[in-house]
Structure 1
Protein backbone atom coordinates (compact mmCIF):
# COMPACT_ATOMS: atom_id res chain seq x y z
CA UNK A 1 0.00 0.00 0.00
CA UNK A 2 1.22 3.50 -0.87
CA UNK A 3 1.77 5.29 2.45
CA UNK A 4 1.29 8.69 0.77
CA UNK A 5 -2.19 7.76 -0.42
CA UNK A 6 -4.83 9.86 1.30
CA UNK A 7 -7.61 8.11 3.19
CA UNK A 8 -11.27 9.01 2.53
CA UNK A 9 -11.25 10.91 5.81
CA UNK A 10 -8.29 13.03 4.72
CA UNK A 11 -9.98 13.83 1.40
CA UNK A 12 -13.19 14.84 3.18
CA UNK A 13 -11.25 17.09 5.54
CA UNK A 14 -9.49 18.78 2.60
CA UNK A 15 -12.81 19.16 0.81
CA UNK A 16 -14.23 20.91 3.90
CA UNK A 17 -11.20 23.21 4.01
CA UNK A 18 -11.54 24.00 0.31
CA UNK A 19 -15.27 24.66 0.68
CA UNK A 20 -14.76 27.03 3.59
CA UNK A 21 -11.91 28.98 1.95
CA UNK A 22 -13.57 29.36 -1.46
CA UNK A 23 -16.87 30.26 0.18
CA UNK A 24 -15.16 32.87 2.38
CA UNK A 25 -13.44 34.48 -0.62
CA UNK A 26 -16.70 34.61 -2.59
CA UNK A 27 -18.57 36.18 0.33
CA UNK A 28 -15.72 38.63 0.97
CA UNK A 29 -15.82 39.73 -2.67
CA UNK A 30 -12.31 38.51 -3.44
CA UNK A 31 -13.61 36.15 -6.12
CA UNK A 32 -15.74 38.17 -8.52
CA UNK A 33 -19.12 37.37 -10.11
CA UNK A 34 -18.64 35.56 -13.42
CA UNK A 35 -15.01 34.69 -12.68
CA UNK A 36 -14.05 31.25 -13.97
CA UNK A 37 -12.87 28.88 -11.26
CA UNK A 38 -10.34 26.71 -13.01
CA UNK A 39 -9.61 23.58 -10.99
CA UNK A 40 -5.81 23.76 -11.35
CA UNK A 41 -5.64 27.48 -10.59
CA UNK A 42 -7.88 27.15 -7.54
CA UNK A 43 -5.87 24.13 -6.40
CA UNK A 44 -2.66 26.19 -6.60
CA UNK A 45 -4.31 29.17 -4.87
CA UNK A 46 -5.23 27.18 -1.78
CA UNK A 47 -2.60 24.46 -1.89
CA UNK A 48 -5.25 21.74 -1.96
CA UNK A 49 -5.52 18.89 -4.47
CA UNK A 50 -7.88 18.96 -7.43
CA UNK A 51 -10.24 16.24 -6.16
CA UNK A 52 -11.19 18.08 -2.91
CA UNK A 53 -11.44 21.34 -4.89
CA UNK A 54 -13.89 19.75 -7.34
CA UNK A 55 -15.97 18.38 -4.46
CA UNK A 56 -16.05 21.81 -2.83
CA UNK A 57 -17.09 23.53 -6.06
CA UNK A 58 -19.89 21.02 -6.61
CA UNK A 59 -21.12 21.71 -3.08
CA UNK A 60 -20.93 25.48 -3.58
CA UNK A 61 -22.86 25.03 -6.82
CA UNK A 62 -25.69 23.39 -4.90
CA UNK A 63 -25.60 26.33 -2.46
CA UNK A 64 -25.93 28.88 -5.25
CA UNK A 65 -22.56 30.63 -4.81
CA UNK A 66 -21.01 28.87 -7.82
CA UNK A 67 -22.48 28.10 -11.24
CA UNK A 68 -21.58 24.93 -13.10
CA UNK A 69 -21.94 25.45 -16.84
CA UNK A 70 -22.08 22.45 -19.16
CA UNK A 71 -18.79 21.90 -21.00
CA UNK A 72 -17.38 25.14 -19.58
CA UNK A 73 -16.67 24.42 -15.93
CA UNK A 74 -17.28 26.36 -12.71
CA UNK A 75 -17.91 30.11 -12.35
CA UNK A 76 -18.61 32.42 -9.42
CA UNK A 77 -22.36 33.09 -9.45
CA UNK A 78 -23.39 36.36 -11.06
CA UNK A 79 -25.08 39.22 -9.21
CA UNK A 80 -27.76 41.65 -10.32
CA UNK A 81 -29.98 44.34 -8.87
CA UNK A 82 -33.04 42.22 -9.67
CA UNK A 83 -31.60 39.29 -7.72
CA UNK A 84 -30.72 41.57 -4.79
CA UNK A 85 -34.24 43.03 -4.70
CA UNK A 86 -35.63 39.50 -4.69
CA UNK A 87 -33.25 38.53 -1.89
CA UNK A 88 -34.24 41.51 0.27
CA UNK A 89 -37.96 40.93 -0.36
CA UNK A 90 -37.66 37.28 0.65
CA UNK A 91 -35.58 38.14 3.72
CA UNK A 92 -38.24 40.59 4.87
CA UNK A 93 -41.03 38.03 4.39
CA UNK A 94 -39.29 35.21 6.24
CA UNK A 95 -37.33 37.10 8.89
CA UNK A 96 -40.30 39.15 10.06
CA UNK A 97 -42.26 35.89 10.36
CA UNK A 98 -39.44 34.33 12.38
CA UNK A 99 -39.06 37.47 14.51
CA UNK A 100 -42.77 37.51 15.40
CA UNK A 101 -42.61 33.86 16.41
CA UNK A 102 -39.48 34.50 18.48
CA UNK A 103 -41.13 37.35 20.36
CA UNK A 104 -44.11 35.08 21.08
CA UNK A 105 -41.67 32.66 22.74
CA UNK A 106 -39.75 35.38 24.57
CA UNK A 107 -37.83 34.38 27.72
CA UNK A 108 -35.16 35.93 29.89
CA UNK A 109 -32.41 33.64 28.61
CA UNK A 110 -33.08 34.83 25.05
CA UNK A 111 -33.09 38.46 26.17
CA UNK A 112 -29.71 38.02 27.89
CA UNK A 113 -28.19 36.46 24.78
CA UNK A 114 -29.59 39.25 22.58
CA UNK A 115 -28.28 42.01 24.82
CA UNK A 116 -24.84 40.39 24.96
CA UNK A 117 -24.76 39.91 21.16
CA UNK A 118 -25.77 43.54 20.64
CA UNK A 119 -23.04 44.84 22.97
CA UNK A 120 -20.42 42.66 21.25
CA UNK A 121 -21.53 44.04 17.88
CA UNK A 122 -21.57 47.63 19.14
CA UNK A 123 -18.03 47.28 20.52
CA UNK A 124 -16.66 45.93 17.24
CA UNK A 125 -15.52 48.65 14.85
CA UNK A 126 -16.52 48.17 11.25
CA UNK A 127 -13.73 48.96 8.81
CA UNK A 128 -13.69 48.83 5.06
CA UNK A 129 -12.33 45.50 3.74
CA UNK A 130 -8.87 46.69 2.83
CA UNK A 131 -5.86 44.45 3.38
CA UNK A 132 -5.06 46.22 6.64
CA UNK A 133 -8.62 45.97 7.96
CA UNK A 134 -9.71 42.55 6.74
CA UNK A 135 -9.56 40.70 10.08
CA UNK A 136 -11.52 43.35 11.92
CA UNK A 137 -14.10 43.55 9.12
CA UNK A 138 -14.62 39.79 9.31
CA UNK A 139 -15.09 40.01 13.06
CA UNK A 140 -17.80 42.65 12.54
CA UNK A 141 -19.54 40.41 10.03
CA UNK A 142 -19.50 37.51 12.51
CA UNK A 143 -20.94 39.70 15.29
CA UNK A 144 -23.50 41.16 12.91
CA UNK A 145 -24.77 37.75 11.79
CA UNK A 146 -24.78 36.48 15.37
CA UNK A 147 -27.07 39.35 16.42
CA UNK A 148 -29.44 39.01 13.47
CA UNK A 149 -29.73 35.22 13.83
CA UNK A 150 -30.40 35.56 17.55
CA UNK A 151 -33.33 37.85 16.75
CA UNK A 152 -34.92 34.84 15.03
CA UNK A 153 -33.63 32.17 17.40
CA UNK A 154 -36.93 31.40 19.18
CA UNK A 155 -38.99 30.93 15.99
CA UNK A 156 -39.12 27.15 16.52
CA UNK A 157 -38.07 26.13 13.00
CA UNK A 158 -34.53 24.98 12.15
CA UNK A 159 -35.49 24.94 8.46
CA UNK A 160 -36.42 28.61 8.63
CA UNK A 161 -33.28 29.52 10.58
CA UNK A 162 -31.04 27.70 8.10
CA UNK A 163 -32.66 29.41 5.14
CA UNK A 164 -32.41 32.83 6.80
CA UNK A 165 -28.73 32.16 7.55
CA UNK A 166 -28.06 31.36 3.89
CA UNK A 167 -29.77 34.57 2.78
CA UNK A 168 -27.73 36.57 5.29
CA UNK A 169 -24.54 35.18 3.76
CA UNK A 170 -25.66 36.15 0.26
CA UNK A 171 -26.42 39.69 1.47
CA UNK A 172 -22.89 39.90 2.93
CA UNK A 173 -21.51 39.05 -0.51
CA UNK A 174 -23.33 41.98 -2.11
CA UNK A 175 -22.15 44.41 0.56
CA UNK A 176 -18.53 43.30 0.38
CA UNK A 177 -18.41 43.37 -3.41
CA UNK A 178 -19.78 46.89 -3.36
CA UNK A 179 -17.30 48.10 -0.76
CA UNK A 180 -14.34 46.36 -2.39
CA UNK A 181 -14.90 48.04 -5.75
CA UNK A 182 -16.50 51.30 -4.54
CA UNK A 183 -15.26 52.00 -0.99
CA UNK A 184 -17.08 55.33 -0.71
CA UNK A 185 -20.37 54.03 -2.09
CA UNK A 186 -21.78 52.48 1.07
CA UNK A 187 -21.11 53.99 4.46
CA UNK A 188 -23.98 52.96 6.73
CA UNK A 189 -23.57 55.49 9.49
CA UNK A 190 -27.02 54.74 10.91
CA UNK A 191 -26.69 50.96 11.16
CA UNK A 192 -25.61 50.98 14.83
CA UNK A 193 -28.63 53.05 15.86
CA UNK A 194 -30.89 50.74 13.85
CA UNK A 195 -29.56 47.71 15.72
CA UNK A 196 -30.11 49.44 19.04
CA UNK A 197 -33.69 50.34 18.09
CA UNK A 198 -34.35 46.76 17.00
CA UNK A 199 -33.11 45.43 20.32
CA UNK A 200 -35.29 47.91 22.20
CA UNK A 201 -38.41 46.86 20.31
CA UNK A 202 -37.74 43.18 20.98
CA UNK A 203 -37.06 43.76 24.68
CA UNK A 204 -40.36 45.70 24.82
CA UNK A 205 -41.99 42.70 23.12
CA UNK A 206 -43.46 44.99 20.49
CA UNK A 207 -43.60 42.65 17.49
CA UNK A 208 -45.15 45.19 15.11
CA UNK A 209 -42.48 47.80 15.81
CA UNK A 210 -39.67 45.25 15.72
CA UNK A 211 -40.78 43.89 12.33
CA UNK A 212 -41.20 47.39 10.92
CA UNK A 213 -37.69 48.34 12.09
CA UNK A 214 -36.21 45.15 10.62
CA UNK A 215 -37.86 45.83 7.25
CA UNK A 216 -36.65 49.46 7.28
CA UNK A 217 -33.14 48.24 8.17
CA UNK A 218 -32.98 46.00 5.10
CA UNK A 219 -34.62 48.47 2.74
CA UNK A 220 -32.18 51.21 3.77
CA UNK A 221 -29.26 48.94 2.93
CA UNK A 222 -30.91 48.01 -0.37
CA UNK A 223 -31.24 51.67 -1.35
CA UNK A 224 -27.59 52.23 -0.46
CA UNK A 225 -26.62 49.44 -2.85
CA UNK A 226 -28.90 50.53 -5.67
CA UNK A 227 -26.82 51.59 -8.65
CA UNK A 228 -23.63 50.22 -7.12
CA UNK A 229 -24.42 46.58 -7.86
CA UNK A 230 -24.54 47.19 -11.61
CA UNK A 231 -21.11 48.85 -11.49
CA UNK A 232 -19.71 45.91 -9.58
CA UNK A 233 -20.97 43.49 -12.20
CA UNK A 234 -19.53 45.53 -15.03
CA UNK A 235 -16.13 45.91 -13.35
CA UNK A 236 -15.74 42.25 -12.44
CA UNK A 237 -13.20 40.20 -14.41
CA UNK A 238 -14.78 38.27 -17.27
CA UNK A 239 -14.01 34.66 -18.18
Structure 2
Protein backbone atom coordinates (compact mmCIF):
# COMPACT_ATOMS: atom_id res chain seq x y z
CA UNK A 1 0.00 0.00 0.00
CA UNK A 2 1.54 3.36 -0.95
CA UNK A 3 2.70 5.59 1.89
CA UNK A 4 1.45 8.72 0.19
CA UNK A 5 -1.76 10.04 -1.32
CA UNK A 6 -2.16 10.52 -5.04
CA UNK A 7 -2.37 14.16 -6.08
CA UNK A 8 -6.11 13.75 -6.69
CA UNK A 9 -6.68 12.12 -3.31
CA UNK A 10 -4.60 14.77 -1.60
CA UNK A 11 -6.70 17.48 -3.24
CA UNK A 12 -9.89 15.79 -2.05
CA UNK A 13 -8.49 15.47 1.47
CA UNK A 14 -7.65 19.15 1.65
CA UNK A 15 -10.83 20.45 0.04
CA UNK A 16 -12.96 20.67 3.21
CA UNK A 17 -10.32 22.84 4.85
CA UNK A 18 -9.97 24.92 1.69
CA UNK A 19 -13.74 25.34 1.54
CA UNK A 20 -13.85 26.30 5.21
CA UNK A 21 -11.19 28.96 4.61
CA UNK A 22 -13.09 30.36 1.64
CA UNK A 23 -16.37 30.52 3.59
CA UNK A 24 -14.55 32.03 6.57
CA UNK A 25 -13.08 34.78 4.38
CA UNK A 26 -16.39 35.68 2.77
CA UNK A 27 -18.32 35.56 6.04
CA UNK A 28 -15.69 37.68 7.76
CA UNK A 29 -15.83 40.25 4.97
CA UNK A 30 -19.64 40.46 5.16
CA UNK A 31 -19.62 40.78 8.96
CA UNK A 32 -16.98 43.52 8.99
CA UNK A 33 -18.74 45.50 6.27
CA UNK A 34 -22.17 45.17 7.89
CA UNK A 35 -23.71 43.04 5.14
CA UNK A 36 -24.54 40.60 7.95
CA UNK A 37 -26.06 42.65 10.74
CA UNK A 38 -25.11 42.49 14.43
CA UNK A 39 -27.23 39.84 16.14
CA UNK A 40 -28.31 38.23 12.85
CA UNK A 41 -28.82 34.48 13.16
CA UNK A 42 -26.39 32.32 11.19
CA UNK A 43 -28.04 28.96 10.68
CA UNK A 44 -25.49 26.49 9.40
CA UNK A 45 -27.69 25.17 6.60
CA UNK A 46 -28.63 28.68 5.41
CA UNK A 47 -25.03 29.91 5.53
CA UNK A 48 -23.86 26.82 3.63
CA UNK A 49 -26.38 27.51 0.87
CA UNK A 50 -25.58 31.22 0.74
CA UNK A 51 -21.82 30.75 0.50
CA UNK A 52 -21.74 27.55 -1.51
CA UNK A 53 -20.29 24.98 0.87
CA UNK A 54 -21.24 21.93 2.88
CA UNK A 55 -22.36 22.00 6.49
CA UNK A 56 -19.05 20.66 7.85
CA UNK A 57 -16.77 23.40 6.39
CA UNK A 58 -19.46 25.98 7.17
CA UNK A 59 -19.52 24.97 10.83
CA UNK A 60 -15.72 25.09 10.86
CA UNK A 61 -15.77 28.62 9.43
CA UNK A 62 -18.32 29.76 12.00
CA UNK A 63 -16.26 28.23 14.79
CA UNK A 64 -13.20 30.16 13.61
CA UNK A 65 -15.16 33.39 13.58
CA UNK A 66 -16.43 32.60 17.06
CA UNK A 67 -12.80 32.31 18.22
CA UNK A 68 -12.24 35.78 16.71
CA UNK A 69 -15.27 37.13 18.66
CA UNK A 70 -17.02 38.10 15.42
CA UNK A 71 -19.62 35.36 15.85
CA UNK A 72 -21.23 34.07 19.02
CA UNK A 73 -22.57 30.60 19.76
CA UNK A 74 -26.06 30.55 21.22
CA UNK A 75 -26.60 27.49 23.38
CA UNK A 76 -28.86 25.05 21.53
CA UNK A 77 -29.70 27.76 18.97
CA UNK A 78 -26.63 27.87 16.77
CA UNK A 79 -24.58 30.89 15.74
CA UNK A 80 -25.22 34.61 15.36
CA UNK A 81 -23.24 37.69 14.34
CA UNK A 82 -21.69 39.19 17.46
CA UNK A 83 -23.69 42.18 18.71
CA UNK A 84 -22.27 45.69 18.94
CA UNK A 85 -22.98 48.35 21.52
CA UNK A 86 -21.80 51.74 22.70
CA UNK A 87 -20.17 50.10 25.73
CA UNK A 88 -18.35 47.60 23.52
CA UNK A 89 -17.18 50.39 21.23
CA UNK A 90 -15.83 52.39 24.16
CA UNK A 91 -13.96 49.34 25.45
CA UNK A 92 -12.60 48.55 21.99
CA UNK A 93 -11.51 52.15 21.44
CA UNK A 94 -9.64 52.26 24.76
CA UNK A 95 -7.79 49.07 23.85
CA UNK A 96 -6.98 50.40 20.38
CA UNK A 97 -5.64 53.67 21.73
CA UNK A 98 -3.49 52.00 24.41
CA UNK A 99 -1.93 49.46 22.06
CA UNK A 100 -1.52 51.90 19.17
CA UNK A 101 0.21 54.41 21.42
CA UNK A 102 2.73 51.77 22.52
CA UNK A 103 3.31 50.51 18.97
CA UNK A 104 3.71 53.99 17.48
CA UNK A 105 6.04 55.07 20.28
CA UNK A 106 8.35 52.13 19.63
CA UNK A 107 8.11 52.55 15.85
CA UNK A 108 9.09 56.21 16.05
CA UNK A 109 12.00 55.38 18.33
CA UNK A 110 13.31 52.30 16.54
CA UNK A 111 11.86 52.09 13.01
CA UNK A 112 14.56 51.83 10.35
CA UNK A 113 14.87 53.14 6.79
CA UNK A 114 13.03 50.11 5.39
CA UNK A 115 10.11 50.88 7.71
CA UNK A 116 10.02 54.50 6.52
CA UNK A 117 9.87 53.28 2.92
CA UNK A 118 7.01 50.90 3.71
CA UNK A 119 5.05 53.67 5.42
CA UNK A 120 5.57 56.07 2.52
CA UNK A 121 4.57 53.46 -0.06
CA UNK A 122 1.45 52.44 1.89
CA UNK A 123 0.43 56.08 2.30
CA UNK A 124 1.04 56.83 -1.38
CA UNK A 125 -1.19 53.93 -2.44
CA UNK A 126 -3.90 54.89 0.05
CA UNK A 127 -3.89 58.55 -0.98
CA UNK A 128 -4.71 57.59 -4.59
CA UNK A 129 -7.97 55.84 -3.69
CA UNK A 130 -11.07 57.76 -2.53
CA UNK A 131 -12.92 56.61 0.57
CA UNK A 132 -16.29 56.92 -1.23
CA UNK A 133 -17.48 56.09 -4.72
CA UNK A 134 -20.06 58.83 -4.21
CA UNK A 135 -20.84 61.11 -1.29
CA UNK A 136 -24.50 61.82 -1.99
CA UNK A 137 -25.77 59.32 -1.13
CA UNK A 138 -22.69 57.88 0.65
CA UNK A 139 -21.43 54.82 -1.24
CA UNK A 140 -18.30 53.33 0.27
CA UNK A 141 -15.41 52.33 -1.97
CA UNK A 142 -14.40 48.72 -1.25
CA UNK A 143 -10.98 49.31 -2.82
CA UNK A 144 -10.18 51.72 0.03
CA UNK A 145 -10.41 49.17 2.84
CA UNK A 146 -7.41 46.88 2.14
CA UNK A 147 -5.19 49.91 1.47
CA UNK A 148 -6.37 51.55 4.69
CA UNK A 149 -5.57 48.38 6.64
CA UNK A 150 -2.14 48.09 5.00
CA UNK A 151 -1.36 51.71 5.89
CA UNK A 152 -2.02 51.14 9.59
CA UNK A 153 -0.19 47.82 9.51
CA UNK A 154 2.94 49.50 8.16
CA UNK A 155 2.76 52.31 10.72
CA UNK A 156 2.75 49.70 13.49
CA UNK A 157 5.28 47.40 11.80
CA UNK A 158 8.25 49.45 12.94
CA UNK A 159 7.64 48.72 16.62
CA UNK A 160 9.77 45.57 16.61
CA UNK A 161 7.15 43.21 18.08
CA UNK A 162 5.05 40.93 15.90
CA UNK A 163 2.77 40.21 18.88
CA UNK A 164 2.08 43.93 19.24
CA UNK A 165 1.44 44.35 15.51
CA UNK A 166 -0.93 41.36 15.49
CA UNK A 167 -2.81 42.74 18.50
CA UNK A 168 -3.16 46.18 16.93
CA UNK A 169 -4.45 44.71 13.68
CA UNK A 170 -6.92 42.37 15.36
CA UNK A 171 -8.40 45.40 17.12
CA UNK A 172 -8.29 47.30 13.82
CA UNK A 173 -10.38 44.57 12.20
CA UNK A 174 -12.97 44.62 15.00
CA UNK A 175 -13.24 48.37 14.62
CA UNK A 176 -14.06 47.88 10.93
CA UNK A 177 -17.68 47.17 11.84
CA UNK A 178 -17.94 50.53 13.57
CA UNK A 179 -16.01 52.39 10.86
CA UNK A 180 -18.59 51.34 8.31
CA UNK A 181 -21.31 52.70 10.56
CA UNK A 182 -19.47 56.02 10.85
CA UNK A 183 -19.13 56.26 7.07
CA UNK A 184 -22.86 55.65 6.65
CA UNK A 185 -23.62 58.28 9.29
CA UNK A 186 -21.79 61.25 7.86
CA UNK A 187 -19.23 62.06 5.18
CA UNK A 188 -16.29 63.81 6.79
CA UNK A 189 -13.05 64.53 4.91
CA UNK A 190 -10.45 62.67 6.98
CA UNK A 191 -7.59 62.16 4.53
CA UNK A 192 -5.54 64.88 6.26
CA UNK A 193 -5.40 62.66 9.37
CA UNK A 194 -3.31 60.05 7.53
CA UNK A 195 -1.06 62.71 6.01
CA UNK A 196 -0.39 64.34 9.38
CA UNK A 197 0.31 60.97 10.98
CA UNK A 198 2.85 60.06 8.30
CA UNK A 199 4.60 63.39 8.69
CA UNK A 200 4.79 63.00 12.46
CA UNK A 201 6.19 59.46 12.47
CA UNK A 202 8.75 60.16 9.75
CA UNK A 203 9.88 63.30 11.55
CA UNK A 204 10.25 61.10 14.66
CA UNK A 205 7.92 63.43 16.54
CA UNK A 206 6.81 60.98 19.20
CA UNK A 207 4.37 63.24 21.04
CA UNK A 208 2.53 64.34 17.89
CA UNK A 209 2.42 60.82 16.44
CA UNK A 210 0.88 59.40 19.61
CA UNK A 211 -1.65 62.23 19.86
CA UNK A 212 -2.63 61.89 16.18
CA UNK A 213 -3.17 58.11 16.24
CA UNK A 214 -5.24 58.48 19.42
CA UNK A 215 -7.39 61.26 17.98
CA UNK A 216 -7.82 59.27 14.76
CA UNK A 217 -9.39 56.35 16.63
CA UNK A 218 -11.38 58.49 19.06
CA UNK A 219 -13.03 60.48 16.28
CA UNK A 220 -14.40 57.33 14.66
CA UNK A 221 -15.95 56.29 17.97
CA UNK A 222 -17.39 59.77 18.50
CA UNK A 223 -19.04 59.76 15.07
CA UNK A 224 -20.60 56.32 15.64
CA UNK A 225 -21.93 57.24 19.09
CA UNK A 226 -23.33 60.52 17.74
CA UNK A 227 -25.02 58.69 14.88
CA UNK A 228 -26.54 56.15 17.26
CA UNK A 229 -28.00 58.85 19.48
CA UNK A 230 -29.86 60.30 16.47
CA UNK A 231 -30.86 57.05 14.81
TM-score (norm 2): 0.89
Q: What residue in structure 2 maps to residue 58 of structure 1?
A: 63
Distance apart, 1:204 and its partner CA: 0.7
Out of 27, 31, 41, the residue aligned to residue 32 of structure 2 is: 27
2:194 paired residue number: 195
Runs of 5+ unmatched residues, structure 2: 1-7
- Name the counterpart of 2:111: 106
2:169 aligned with 1:165 = yes
Q: Where in structure 1 do 4 or more consecutive aligned residues deviate above 3 Å?
A: 229-232
Q: 1:31 aligns to what SS in structure 2?
A: coil
1:152 pairs with 143, 156, 179, which one? Answer: 156
Instruction: Encode CA deviations 1:200-230: one digit per residue, 9 max, x unaligned.
Output: 1011101111001111111111111113346
Partner of 2:179: 175
Match of 1:237 in 2: none
Of the two structures, which has the highest relative contact order with CA contacts closer than 8 Å and spacing of 6 or more?
1
> Does the CA contact (< 8 Å) of 2:112 and 2:158 recur in 1?
no
Worse-superposed segment, 102-111 or 200-209: 102-111
Q: 1:129 to 1:65 in 2, by over 3 A?
A: farther
Structure 1 Cα separation of the partners of residues 92 and 102 of structure 2:
15
Match of 2:186? Answer: 186
- Residue 94 of structure 1 pairs with residue 99 of structure 2: yes
CA distance in 2, matches of 1:83, 1:115: 33
Contact 1:66/1:77 (CA < 8 Å) preserved in 2?
Answer: yes
- Cα deviation, residue 66, structure 1: 0.2
> For the Cα contact (< 8 Å) 1:19–1:57, is it kept in 2?
yes
Give the Å deviation of 1:165: 0.8
CA displacement, residues 185-208 of structure 1 (integer Å, 9 cap, x when unaligned): 22221x211111101101110111
- Relative to total residues, which structure has the larger strand share, 1 or 2? 2
Structure 1 stretch 170-179 or stretch 95-104: which is displaced more?
Answer: 170-179
SS across alignment from 2:186 = coil
Alpha-carbon distance, 1:173 to partner: 1.1
Residue 219 (structure 1) aligned with residue 218 (structure 2): yes
Quote the residue 1:81 is aligned against: 86
- Secondary structure of residue in 1 paired with 2:79: strand
Shift of 1:127: 1.3
Unaligned residue ranges in structure 1 (runs of 5+):
233-239
Answer yes or no: is 1:139 the counterpart of 2:138: no
Partners of 2:197 and 2:213 within 8 A in 1:
yes
How far apart are residue 163 of structure 1 and its match? 1.3
- 5 Å-filtered alignment, 1:117-136, equals 117-127=122-132
